[in-house]
Amino acid sequence: MNIGTLFNTILIQPIFNILLVFMFVLSTWRIPGALGFSIIGLTALFRLIFAPMYKKQIEMAMHMEELRPQLEKIQKKYKGNAQKIQQEQLKLYQARGLNPASGCLVGLLQIPLVIALYQVLLKVFEKDGAKYFTDLTTQMAYTNFLRIKSIDPWFFGFNLAYTPSQFQQHGLHYLLIPVITAALQYWQIASTQKATPKKQESAEKDTKDGKPREESFQEVFQKQSKFMFPMMVGYFSYILPVGLALYWNVFSLFSIFQAQQQKTWKTKQK
Q: Residue 158 pairs with which residues in a beta bridge? A: 155
39-74 pLDDT tens trace = 999 989 988 887 777 777 777 777 777 788 888 888
pLDDT at 195: 52
pLDDT at 256: 86
pLDDT at 207: 45
- In the predicted model, what is the mean pLDDT of residues 181-194? 83
- In the predicted model, what is the mean pLDDT of residues 115-137? 73
Q: Domain boundaries in the chain?
A: 3-269
Torsion angle in degrees (nearest 10) through CA of 229, 232, 236, 237: 60
Is pLDDT of 206 > 60?
no
245-260 pLDDT tens trace = 998 899 889 888 877 8
pLDDT at 128: 58
> Which contiguous run of DSSP H or E holds residue 158?
strand 158-159
Helices and strands per DSSP (H, E), number in the chain: 10, 2
Residue 17's nearest CA partner among 116, 143, 109 is 143
pLDDT at 20: 92
pLDDT at 203: 46
What secondary structure does DSSP assign to 165-224, as a single string?
A: GGHHHH-GGGGHHHHHHHHHHHHHHHHHHHTSPPPGGGGSPPTTT-PPPPPPHHHHHHHH
State pTM to two decimals.
0.74
pLDDT at 182: 95
pLDDT at 70: 86
AA letter at 179 = V
Is pLDDT of 204 > 50?
no
What secondary structure does DSSP assign to 123-151, as a single string?
A: HHTSS-SHHHHHHHHHHH-SSGGG-----
Gap between the Cα atoms of 101 and 94, Å rounded: 12
Task: List, in order, residues 6 or more apart from 100 with CB less than 8 Å away.
Answer: 60, 64, 93
